[in-house]
Structure 1
Amino acid sequence: MAGMYDDQLIETLRQGAIGLLDEWGLDPQTNVELLTISENATFRAEEPETGRQIVLRVHRPGYHSQKEIESELDWIVALRQEGIVETPEPLVVKNGKHLTSFEMQGEQRFVAAFAFMTGVEPSPTENLNSGFEQLGAISARLHQHVRTWKRPSSFVRKIWNFDTTVGPKPHWGDWRDAPKLTKDGEQLLERTCLELKRQLNVFGEGPDRFGLIHADLRLANLLVEGESLGIIDFDDCGFGWFGYDFAAAVSFFEHEPIIAELEDSWIQGYRSVAPFSEEDARMLPTFVMLRRLLLTAWIGSHSETPTAQDVIETYTAGTLVLAEDFLTRT
């Protein structure tokens, strides 16, 4: 997967998205600019005369199937209809569906569009305690919703368990291919994996702790507008441990001393909405380590993305420090 996006490919995807503008009633002269690249390429489209803006997400082939993408959008629609969270509206195309596509080099590229949501990404240098209390409450509302929501019969999303994160069937690549990983480091992470697997097996996957989750509630996917906290990018949503949503929220700054405080704030917010047992709380550091190791693999397999480029020189070394601490504490 490394190197899956380059300037030429991004421009080709942009042109493909431009060719679909009429599906959402946009003028052919609408400006389309790249917002982000990660698993997918995301563009902002702005109509020059009206100022109307929407977000276009062009999916990379081979990651999510059409049914998986449609299932994500079904969940978002349900969350919005029931007022569970603030999140952008998925927009329908002319045939009334939420998904369209274009063909590129013999491959079908699915495209989903969303209403543009204003707000700014929180910074890890800010006082995040109140935000994490709010995020804990939002996470609890999401988890409460999925416990009672009757999913469509066609609903399918990926499973985020040990095997599919850092085990033998990883969705985001093998952590052993992480940049700058030494042989000694690999041995340390092997021991870490064994301990993670042991703890997760003991904790189990009962319905009180494992279900449909956002799975990527990191700061880049949060938008602050005054007192409101919005959530974007459900692209990684799937079936995993509810506590994993906290681990995702501290992605890329898991090593900071403030994590313990943020954990307390998140739990406090969660418990204001739904139960969160002491057993659940004790597992949060385990989920943080699991997520850190998963991201270490992701950086190796997505090294061309700006997010990976920002941390690629030091992230593996930081993972080793966290792994040493994790094993010492357990």
Structure 2
Amino acid sequence: MSEHESIPFMEALRARACEALGSWELGAQTPQLLKYRENAVFRVTLRNGEPAALRLHRPGYRNEIALVSELSWMAALGEAGLRVPAPVPTPDGRQIVALAGNSEFGDQYADIVSWMTGSPLGQSGVLLAHSAERLAVIFRLLGAAIARMHAATDAWRPPADFRRPAWDGDGLLGGQPLWGRFWDCAGLSPEQAMRLSDLRLFLREKTDALCHLDYGLIHADLVRENVLIDGDHVGLIDFDDGGYGWRMFDIATALFKNRGEPHYELIKAALIEGYRGVRSLPDSALETLSLFMVVRSITYIGWIGERVGAPDAAKRLQRYVADALALADGLGASR
């Protein structure tokens, strides 16, 4: 058991959640912890009896401007008809609240967003349980939802102080990528580090040539857990990493963890069909899918490389490296 799974820490985390709830005048309840990864997310009850999600943001990860920007974007998407969480302001109108550091936590921010119905599309590493026919329906809906998100975003005018990270050449492959330096993290062999360094240069050359490709605000983390299925409706959650990037990065991310599915070709075709039913997706853009699959794969290396205390971190690092290098070989990026 890690220190972050100990009973005293979990009690401190719940107390921190109750502290945050005081700003919404919702203190007289016991928050239910749903997950503790980048953020701690609790199920709470609003004054009208409706459930909602309280998020305690990781200290130092996002500043106030970036968090308010995330919430304003989600609100705009909701107004455009997408099924996404909506900000729940405090009684005095604040979208987020600042929590002062204490013996357990640094200075951090908290917010509450509306509850989303539905079940996650799936879990990473576990085969999807749906029939082929149902998978086709789900991924058409998902493709259409991604397209609607991109279209609604392009039609929206962000406020002047809107700030979100950029998943561009620097954010993915620069000296300090958003999810970590994948080519020199601890645990790599000298050969792996050299191959990943070469791969970084290869990918940077390829992405630098994508000036024609559709670029704008993207979710950036459309993994199975962040896609909720509710009958014939699809909801998108966890916009924590949302920012500016190539729209093909969203499509690649939505497909990435499904590559091992027996019906992957059907899944890919359905998602593309759903997207194209709402928004243009030229063949020339789809030709970059293999490239963005590799780009997505290396982000996981950087992510786990900065989390050596995560469960099975060493094994996951080696799995992510092997996956990325195999995909790179298929792209013709081998040394």
* Same fold per superposition (TM over 0.5): yes
TM-score by length of 2: 0.86
1:138 and 1:36, CA in 2 relative to 1: closer, same or farther beyond 3 A? Answer: same
- Correspondence for 1:82: 80
- Correspondence for 1:191: 198
| Contact 2:138-2:232 within 8 A present in 1 as well | no
- 2:246 aligned with 1:249: no
| Contact 2:183-2:200 within 8 A present in 1 as well | no
**Structure 1 residue matching 2:267: 3-state secondary structure:** helix
Q: Amino acid of the residue matched to residue 86 of structure 2?
A: E
Q: Which moved more, 1:319-328 or 1:3-12?
A: 3-12
Instruction: Give the one of 274, 291, 310 matched to 1:269.
Output: 274
1:277 and 1:4, CA in 2 relative to 1: closer, same or farther beyond 3 A? Answer: farther
**Structure 1 residue matching 2:149: 3-state secondary structure:** helix
Q: Amino acid of the residue matched to residue 174 of structure 1?
A: R
Quote the Cα distance in structure 2 between the aligned partners of 1:44 and 1:262. 32
- Correspondence for 1:109: 108
1:246-290: per-residue Cα shift (whole Å, max 9, x none)?
A: 122134455556544433222211110111111110111111110
Quote the Cα distance in structure 2 between the aligned partners of 1:299 and 1:252. 16
Instruction: Give the one of 146, 161, 168 matched to 2:168.
Output: 161
**Structure 2 residue matching 1:198: 3-state secondary structure:** helix
Q: Which moved more, 1:284-293 or 1:170-179?
A: 170-179
**Structure 2 residue matching 1:243: 3-state secondary structure:** helix
Q: Amino acid of the residue matched to residue 221 of structure 1?
A: N
Q: Which moved more, 1:130-139 or 1:319-328?
A: 319-328
- Correspondence for 2:22: 22
| Contact 1:88-1:115 within 8 A present in 2 as well | yes
Quote the Cα distance in structure 2 between the aligned partners of 1:224 and 1:263. 17
**Residue pairs, 1:132-171, within 5 angstroms:** 132-171=139-178
**Structure 2 residue matching 1:63: 3-state secondary structure:** coil
Quote the Cα distance in structure 2 between the aligned partners of 1:197 and 1:151. 29
> Greater RCO between the two (CA within 8 Å, min separation 6)?
1
Q: Amino acid of the residue matched to residue 246 of structure 1?
A: I
**Structure 2 residue matching 1:175: 3-state secondary structure:** coil
Q: Percent identity?
A: 31
Kindly tell me the number of residue pairs found equivalent between the two proteins.
323
**Structure 2 residue matching 1:176: 3-state secondary structure:** coil
- 2:88 aligned with 1:91: yes
**Residue pairs, 1:1-330, within 5 angstroms:** 7=6, 9-28=9-28, 30-46=29-45, 52-83=50-81, 85-105=82-102, 107-123=106-122, 124-126=127-129, 127=132, 128-178=135-185, 180-204=187-211, 209-254=214-259, 258-305=263-310, 311-312=316-317, 314-327=319-332
Q: CA deviation at 1:46?
A: 4.6
**Structure 2 residue matching 1:60: 3-state secondary structure:** coil
Unmatched 5+ stretches in structure 2 = none
1:6 and 1:164, CA in 2 relative to 1: closer, same or farther beyond 3 A? Answer: farther
1:250 and 1:232, CA in 2 relative to 1: closer, same or farther beyond 3 A? Answer: same
Kindly report the root-mean-square deviation, in angstroms, between the aligned alpha carbons of the 2 structures: 2.8
| Contact 1:140-1:270 within 8 A present in 2 as well | yes
Q: Amino acid of the residue matched to residue 155 of structure 1?
A: F
TM-score by length of 1: 0.87
Quote the Cα distance in structure 2 between the aligned partners of 1:190 and 1:255. 27
Unmatched 5+ stretches in structure 1 = none
Q: Which moved more, 1:311-320 or 1:169-178?
A: 311-320
